[in-house]
Amino acid sequence: MVDRVAEVWGTRTPFARGRRWPVRVDQLLAEGVAEDDVDRWVQSACVLCSNGCGCDIAVRDGRMVGVRGRAVDTVNHGRLGPKGLFGSWQGMAGRDRLTRPLVREGGELVESDWDTAMGRVVERSRALLAEHGPLSHGFYTSGQLFLEEYYALGVIGKAGIGTPHMDGNTRLCTATAAAAMKESFGSDGQPGSYVDIDECDAIVLYGHNMPETQTVLWARVLDRIAGPDRPRVVCVDPRATEVARHADVHLAVRNGTNQALMNGLARELLHRGWVDDAYVAAHTLGLDELREVVEPWTPEAVAEVCGVDAGDVRRAAEIIGTSERVLSTVLQGFYQSHQATAASCGVNNLHLLRGMIGRPGCGVLQMNGQPTAQNTRECGADGDLPGFRNWENPDHVDELARLWNVDPLVIPHWAPPTHAMQIFRYVEQGSIKLLWVSATNPAVSTPDLARMRRILGGDVFLVVQDLYETETTRYADVVLPAAGWGEKTGTFTNVNRTVHLSDQAVDPPGDARSDLDIFLDYARRMDFRDRDGAPLIRWTSPEEVFRAWQECSRGRLCDYTGISYDRLRGGSGIPWPCNDEHPDGTVRLYADGVFPTDPDRCESYGHDLLTGATVDPAAYRALAPAGRAFLKAVPYLPPHEEPDADHPFRYSTGRTVYHFHTRTKTRRARQLDRAAPDAWVELSVADADRLGIAEGDIVRVTSRRGEIVVPARVAGGRDGVVFAPFHYGDSDGDGRAANELTMTEWDPVSKQPVFKVAAVRVERVRAGDRPSPAPTTTASRPAGPARVPGTVGGPDAEVAEDVAPVDPPAVATREEGS
């Protein structure tokens, strides 16, 4: 048994390049439940991050009583991380689950029933449609529902109501991944595979604290690092993360300066001749422009702007430029920062320059944050058209119109999809009058919370659908109790395109219903019709919706036609595209160097990365991309809010390994709650010293938007940077939410809000009486002189680990062939 709060990544199972990652089956059962007591194991996958670890849910007496990793699954080879082990099933079992719909009566939310609650929603919805039309409706959904739920919601929004105002909180976590792939490759769709970790010689993590965001993926990297031919590791992150501890080169850049670094790395590749000229000539466009833009960015210029050592920039470039097989991963340090899309395209550029896409060990993983974010994007619940279709391409719109049998003009393609922050702006201005929020908590997770509370508390008719009461349900007119993971059936897709089925294991509590049932009920009551007057939506079960989605995906990059519920039961998840041509799924995209940039196929005609100006369809056609990828670069611009005398520190938000989002589930698992019970801020040793702040002292951090008052952790990050975890909200007490301080600003292309750049001031309020509650196991590890007891889970957190009980699985074996 292993204490998996203390040992976050569990026992090492080292392996060499080109070997398969050994299996280790992790299992946890509730106290007092032995394996023999389990009535049945129900197949699923974890929904507490984007990794999508295959697991089985233990059921006893109609309740979830534990989990076990699936040895056959190609994503996790049996492993689970702390969130999956402790949070997944316990997070569903809180005694305070919502079990009845709530409606607002005389200012108070009171228990009600489905007919009353849905009756109110439909009444308001119909009245608004009659009086103000479809643009009065907005939908803000999640990255945590299932594929079937997003597709149903997408069809309701696009073919039923006809509103462009639909987005997911994926806008906050993964919009830049999609945007960067659209800009570089013509379409969303992950080029790389997790298998590339097994095959690479170097791994570069760009703003990606993988040890805390996807612990099981990091375990795979750690096992390569512990193996006989360790890959070289480059870390780009201002904090002293676990990645940094293992890195050959750690570039602790000033937050907000990624684009300068990316331009500098591209310049090194070009100047040192680390370029695959033949590949670039055959498969890319834009080399001359790239060369011109990056030319000023000598290692010294990068060093100056980013605050790193020029020699380190050269060393990082050398690893990227000379390793035989390079894998890159990108996440929030890039996506939620200044010039997000440009910098993320900068990573794609390096791979295109070296011709390292679509080959074993050579890949890009533009990561997702949430478990089902990929589906939000694919199915159109983030506003994009389903199946990676291009809203500016009339043929793509016609395809959907035929599929749904509606007038093409009903489908909102006459304006770009409205991104989340703009939806909230329209709510603020009063032109969106009904906002439907599902499975997300904007009252904690969005920037500049004081403003968000005003918006949610305004005149809008707010429908909130969730598992628990949250900071957001407080403002709702109608609260709908949702069934969640283990209580409903559906599929979802992880970062490397692997599709999993999650079967229903238990009944939802009380009257709670699956999000799909709620959406379908709304559609039925609204009586949406197609162009022949027949009901637009006739589905009653998730599997029917899945089949409809398969048709929608047919022939597109995300082709699901070869995947069925039956095929997913029993085995591993399967990576799309999966069709007649790729019957076992597809390990990597673009092995042939042909990208979906053809004007008739592409998902987007692209943007100017500095302004977000769209490229005109005719201008795009004139480029004649013909399957070539785009090398895109823009100059570095300083962030819009830089430190000054009043606010001398750079501020960044982020996460800790033990929690997910606003802790809706993870706070309800006692092991996780104890490991990271409350908010803190991190200061560097030198900064703390200068301000006379000791470990655990209470400090006030102030920005132009607001303030938080929390204990300080003296940690190992770069000087001048203050970090706060974003998991804590005001239901934990006032002045804790990291987003009190962030700004309302977003990337011009991906529209992802900027959470990693703001200017703040720090003051000591009083001495603390204990160390800060920050975990000691990860990036928040103490670095100051104070003694801080280590984060442990004790007997409560002991997990069974069974090493190498069976041979490791392989992805799409026929295709891989190696």
Partner 1 sequence: MKLPVYLGLLREAERTLAGSFRQVAEGHGDEPDVHFLCRTLAAQCDAHHEALTPVVERYGETTPDDEPERLHADGLSETRTGPVGLLRDLQDVYLLATFVEITWTVVRQAAQALRDHDLLDVIGRCDSETSTQVQWLRTRMKQAAPQALVAAS
222 sits near ligand SF4 (criterion: CB under 6 A)? no
Instruction: Report the DSSP pairing between strands 326-330 and 363-366.
Output: parallel
Closest to 545 (Cα-Cα) out of 566, 516, 523, 571? 516
Stretch that binds partner 1, among 169-177, 418-426, 688-696, 726-734 (CB under 8 A): 418-426
**What are the CA-CA distances from residue 57 to residues 201, 355, 666 (Å)?**
36, 42, 17
Closest to 135 (Cα-Cα) out of 433, 461, 457? 433
Six-digit token string for 201: 């010689």
409 sits near partner 1 (criterion: CB under 8 A)? no
Question: Considering the complex, what minimum distance in angstroms separates the CB of residue 611 from partner 1?
Answer: 4
Question: Considering the complex, what minimum distance in angstroms separates the CB of residue 721 from partner 1?
Answer: 22
Cα–Cα distance for residue pair 477/470, rounded to 1 Å: 14
| Residue among 175, 308, 432, 799 that touches partner 1 (CB under 8 A) | 432
Token pair 């060990």: residue: 361
Q: Which partner, partner 1, ligand SF4, none, binds residue 637 by CB below 5 to 8 Å per kind?
A: partner 1
Stretch that binds partner 1, among 213-221, 461-469, 609-617, 657-665 (CB under 8 A): 609-617
Question: Considering the complex, what minimum distance in angstroms separates the CB of residue 634 from ligand SF4?
Answer: 33
Axis-axis angle for helices 258-272, 299-306 (nearest 10): 170
Cα–Cα distance for residue pair 148/163, rounded to 1 Å: 20
Instruction: Give the distance, in angstroms, between the CA of residue 158 and the centroid of all CA atoms in the same chain.
Output: 24
216 sits near ligand SF4 (criterion: CB under 6 A)? yes
- Tell me the HSE value of 136 on the side-chain side, using a 13 A CA sphere: 15
Question: Considering the complex, what minimum distance in angstroms separates the CB of residue 474 from partner 1?
Answer: 24
Residue 199 or 603 with smaller CB distance to partner 1? 603
Residue 84 or 412 with smaller CB distance to ligand SF4? 84
Question: Considering the complex, what minimum distance in angstroms separates the CB of residue 338 from partner 1?
Answer: 10
Output the CA angle 561-566-569, nearest 5 degrees: 120
Cα–Cα distance for residue pair 231/248, rounded to 1 Å: 10
Output the CA angle 111-113-116, nearest 5 degrees: 105
Q: Which partner, ligand SF4, partner 1, none, binds residue 52 by CB below 5 to 8 Å per kind?
A: ligand SF4
Q: Which partner, ligand SF4, partner 1, none, binds residue 136 by CB below 5 to 8 Å per kind?
A: partner 1
437 sits near ligand SF4 (criterion: CB under 6 A)? no
Six-digit token string for 14: 């080292």
Closest to 70 (Cα-Cα) out of 571, 481, 566, 544? 571
**What are the CA-CA distances from residue 645 to residues 229, 253, 302, 400, 761 (Å)?**
49, 21, 24, 55, 9
153 sits near ligand SF4 (criterion: CB under 6 A)? no
Site string for ligand SF4, 175-214 (x = CB under 6 A): ---------------------------------------x
Token pair 């109790």: residue: 481
**What are the CA-CA distances from residue 370 to residues 315, 338, 376, 413, 634 (Å)?**
33, 21, 10, 27, 29
Six-digit token string for 790: 């280590």
Question: Considering the complex, what minimum distance in angstroms separates the CB of residue 69 from ligand SF4?
Answer: 8
Question: Considering the complex, what minimum distance in angstroms separates the CB of residue 569 from ligand SF4?
Answer: 19
| Residue among 25, 38, 53, 410 that touches ligand SF4 (CB under 6 A) | 53
Q: Which partner, ligand SF4, partner 1, none, binds residue 468 by CB below 5 to 8 Å per kind?
A: none
| Residue among 405, 431, 540, 813 that touches partner 1 (CB under 8 A) | 431
3-state helix, strand, coil in the chain (%, to 5): 35, 20, 50
Cα–Cα distance for residue pair 667/300, rounded to 1 Å: 46
DSSP structure class, residue 739 = G
Q: Which partner, ligand SF4, partner 1, none, binds residue 414 by CB below 5 to 8 Å per kind?
A: partner 1
| Residue among 105, 414, 538, 814 that touches partner 1 (CB under 8 A) | 414
52 sits near ligand SF4 (criterion: CB under 6 A)? yes
Question: Considering the complex, what minimum distance in angstroms separates the CB of residue 76 from ligand SF4?
Answer: 6
Please list, in sequence order, all residues whose beta carbon lies within 8 angstroms of the beta carbon of residue 523, skipping any fewer than 6 positions away. Answer: 152, 156, 160, 536, 537
Strand 574-575: give its sheet, edge to edge.
Answer: 490-493, 498-502, 574-575
610 sits near partner 1 (criterion: CB under 8 A)? yes
The interface with partner 1 within residues 619-678 (CB under 8 A) comprises 637, 640
Q: Which partner, partner 1, ligand SF4, none, binds residue 80 by CB below 5 to 8 Å per kind?
A: ligand SF4
Residue 247 or 743 with smaller CB distance to partner 1? 743
Question: Considering the complex, what minimum distance in angstroms separates the CB of residue 55 from ligand SF4?
Answer: 7
450 sits near partner 1 (criterion: CB under 8 A)? no
Q: Which partner, partner 1, ligand SF4, none, binds residue 84 by CB below 5 to 8 Å per kind?
A: ligand SF4
* Helices of type H across 273-354: 277-283, 287-294, 299-306, 310-322, 332-335, 340-353
The interface with ligand SF4 within residues 12-51 (CB under 6 A) comprises 46, 48-49, 51
Residue 83 or 497 with smaller CB distance to ligand SF4? 83
Cα–Cα distance for residue pair 700/625, rounded to 1 Å: 53
Residue 282 or 415 with smaller CB distance to partner 1? 415
387 sits near ligand SF4 (criterion: CB under 6 A)? no
611 sits near partner 1 (criterion: CB under 8 A)? yes
The interface with ligand SF4 within residues 75-134 (CB under 6 A) comprises 76, 80-81, 83-84
In contact, 500 and 84? CB cutoff 8 Å:
no
657 sits near ligand SF4 (criterion: CB under 6 A)? no
425 sits near partner 1 (criterion: CB under 8 A)? yes
10 sits near ligand SF4 (criterion: CB under 6 A)? no
DSSP 362-412: BEEEE--SSTTHHHHHHHTTTSSBGGGB-TT-HHHHHHHHHHHTS-GGGS-
Instruction: Report the DSSP pairing between strands 513-514 and 498-502.
Output: unpaired
Cα–Cα distance for residue pair 139/440, rounded to 1 Å: 11
Question: Considering the complex, what minimum distance in angstroms separates the CB of residue 44 from ligand SF4?
Answer: 11
Residue 77 or 232 with smaller CB distance to ligand SF4? 77
Cis ω for the linkage preceding 577 (within 30 of 0): yes
In contact, 250 and 274? CB cutoff 8 Å:
no
Residue 76 or 136 with smaller CB distance to ligand SF4? 76
| Residue among 1, 110, 226, 415 that touches partner 1 (CB under 8 A) | 415
Q: Under the rule (CB under 8 A), what is the footprint of partner 1?
A: 132-133, 135-136, 164, 414-416, 418, 421-422, 425-426, 428-432, 608, 610-616, 637, 640, 743-746, 748
Q: Under the rule (CB under 6 A), what is the footprint of ligand SF4?
A: 46, 48-49, 51-53, 76, 80-81, 83-84, 214-216
